[in-house]
């Protein structure tokens, strides 16, 4: 079991370093990959011998997005779709955040007063399997924060179904505008 964990860690580190290598030294990114691999290794090595089930915990959506990326969680499930490219444009007194490709996976967010007391104007997430909105019915309760590099939006919206079911949806997203 330890041998498997060690091999897994080495592969993750190797792939992480290869993905980060664009000809420039990026020690911070490589270190992040090593820390992720260490966390994965310690998690898998604690499994009982003979236990063939995989024990992984869902990744934290709020810490995953890098420059020009989006992380989305709906009802506690991290979405696998890629919401890139990301475009962030001022729109009068608002900021428009858009990510993804139409008819594939897309997110559209409007942030009112982004420089002084940001508030959610609207948020919509569309993929092949879901369509979730936070609109004027629930946007007042949503939280919008900017940590200097990313916009984090959390709130309750609704699923828009084909039968107009409008089931409740809990949404967390982190959008990092490209530099």
pLDDT, tens digit, 9 for 90 and up, residues 19-45: 444 444 333 433 333 333 333 333 333
- Give the chain's end-to-end CA distance (angstroms, integer): 43
pLDDT tens-digit profile of 93-139? 999 999 999 889 999 999 999 999 999 999 999 999 999 999 889 99
pLDDT tens-digit profile of 150-160? 999 999 999 98
Give the chain's largest Cα–Cα span: 61
pTM over 0.85: no
pLDDT tens-digit profile of 55-85? 333 444 455 556 789 999 999 999 999 999 9
CA atoms within 13 A on the CB side of 176: 16
């Amino acid at each position: 079991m330890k041998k498997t964990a060690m091999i897994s860690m080495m592969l993750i580190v190797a792939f992480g370093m290869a993905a980060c290598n664009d000809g420039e030294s990026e020690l911070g990114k490589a270190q992040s990959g090593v820390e992720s691999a260490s966390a994965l290794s310690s998690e898998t090595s604690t499994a009982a011998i003979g236990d063939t089930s995989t024990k992984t915990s869902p990744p934290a959506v709020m810490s995953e997005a890098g420059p020009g990326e989006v992380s989305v969680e709906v009802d506690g499930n991290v979405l696998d779709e890629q919401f890139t490219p990301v475009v962030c444009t001022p729109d009068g007194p608002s900021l428009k955040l858009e990510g993804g490709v139409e008819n594939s996976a897309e997110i559209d967010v409007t942030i009112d007063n982004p420089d002084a007391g940001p508030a959610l104007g609207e948020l919509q997430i569309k993929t092949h399997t879901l369509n979730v909105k936070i609109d004027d019915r629930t946007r007042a309760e949503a939280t919008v924060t900017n940590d200097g590099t990313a916009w984090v939006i959390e709130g309750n919206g609704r699923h828009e179904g084909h039968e107009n079911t409008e089931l409740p949806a809990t949404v967390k997203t982190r959008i990092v505008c490209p530099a």
